[in-house]
Amino acid sequence: MFRNVAELVELAVSQNKKISEIMIEQEVGVTGRSREEVLSFMDRNLKVMEEAVERGIKGVKSHSGLTGGDAVLLQKYIEKGNFLSGETILDAVSKAVATNEVNAAMGTICATPTAGSAGVVPGTLFAVKKKLNPTREQMVSFLFTAGAFGFVVANNASISGAAGGCQAEVGSAAGMAAAAIVEMAGGTPQQCAEAMAITLKNMLGLVCDPVAGLVEVPCVKRNAMGAANAMVAADMALAGVTSRIPCDEVIEAMYKIGQTMPTALRETAGGGLAATPTGRRLEAKIFGMPLKEK
């Protein structure tokens, strides 16, 4: 069992395998399930992600009314063709938003690694799909690569916003996505690790401050930017840019930052955007009165 990113990359390099393959083999070994079962289970998760994106880009609205409809706006904007950043990146952003809008509306999603950060991995996957034309099998592999990096973060740091802030959720998701994009685009295992490190470095310190405690504001837009961050970091890694701080040390830094983060900024709706005048006003409107004094 690999315990950190260095071991994961070493396993892949020494056996001349992809990261996704190392993850599949470990899953088979740990659970005793057959390879076919493991692959088909992941395929089922992929299907849930596809359905959530499709539903989201058609337009959903959450019960609170705080979120919904932005994925539609973005898709229309892309169609017009006058965008400034880039089609793939905007498509990733809109599909990440789509997934999280469905999540906020209590729709069915696949947590990757959590529900609040469920948009980043599928958003980037379905956007790069247009560019790279992967087979269904390669799309399933994308999720195993993302899972391998998430597995390391979950075991060495945290993927819980209540424990480590948004950096542990959207930060982890973005790093996972960046690594998976690199593998799908033909990068090396080490380049996957570089992409993860570059992404996570740029998400360090991100707090979890949901307005009214709902997984909506700013979560949906954090997924958007997580997807954008992942796309750019993947391109940087593929260009040969490396992280001066090794991936495992970035993960450890993320963990330590999470531990020193005040409770008010760890999914309690006690600080940050949740405690802004508008945040409090929205909270009062949604629940009919303010939540208990934090």
Partner 1 sequence: MKYRSVFDIIGPVMIGPSSSHTAGAARIGRVARSLFGREPKWANISLYGSFAKTYKGHGTDVAIVGGLLDFDTDDTRIINALDIANERGMKIQFIEEDAVPDHPNTARVIIGDHNGELELVGISIGGGKIEITELNGFVLKLSGNHPALLVVHNDRFGAIASVANTLAKYEINIGHMEVSRKEVGKMALMTIEVDENVDDQLLEELEQLPNILKVTKIVD
Interface positions with partner 1 (CB under 8 A):
1, 3, 23, 26-27, 30-33, 41-42, 44-45, 48, 64, 102-116, 118, 121, 143-144, 146-148, 150-151, 154-155, 158-163, 168, 176, 210, 212-216, 263, 266-270, 286-287, 291-292, 294
Residue with Cβ nearer partner 1 (63 or 76): 63
Cα–Cα distance for residue pair 119/126, rounded to 1 Å: 11
The distance of closest approach from Cβ of residue 240 to partner 1 in the complex, given in angstroms and rounded to an integer, is: 28
83-121 b/e (C-beta count within 10 Å ≥ 16 → b)? eeeeebbbbbbbbbbbbbbbbbbeeebbebbbbbbbbbb
Residue with Cβ nearer partner 1 (27 or 91): 27
Q: State both tokens at 68.
A: 């919904």
Q: State both tokens at 74.
A: 């973005």
The distance of closest approach from Cβ of residue 178 to partner 1 in the complex, given in angstroms and rounded to an integer, is: 15
Straight-line distance from the first to the last Cα atom of the chain, in angstroms, rounded to the nearest whole number: 42
Residue 25 buriedness (CB in 10 A; 0-12 / 13-18 / 19+): middle
Q: State both tokens at 175.
A: 């790093």
DSSP state of 261: S
The distance of closest approach from Cβ of residue 181 to partner 1 in the complex, given in angstroms and rounded to an integer, is: 15
Residue with Cβ nearer partner 1 (182 or 269): 269
Residue with Cβ nearer partner 1 (115 or 238): 115
Residue 162 buriedness (CB in 10 A; 0-12 / 13-18 / 19+): middle
The distance of closest approach from Cβ of residue 146 to partner 1 in the complex, given in angstroms and rounded to an integer, is: 7
Residue with Cβ nearer partner 1 (100 or 190): 100
Residue with Cβ nearer partner 1 (127 or 236): 127
The distance of closest approach from Cβ of residue 15 to partner 1 in the complex, given in angstroms and rounded to an integer, is: 18
Cα–Cα distance for residue pair 193/178, rounded to 1 Å: 9
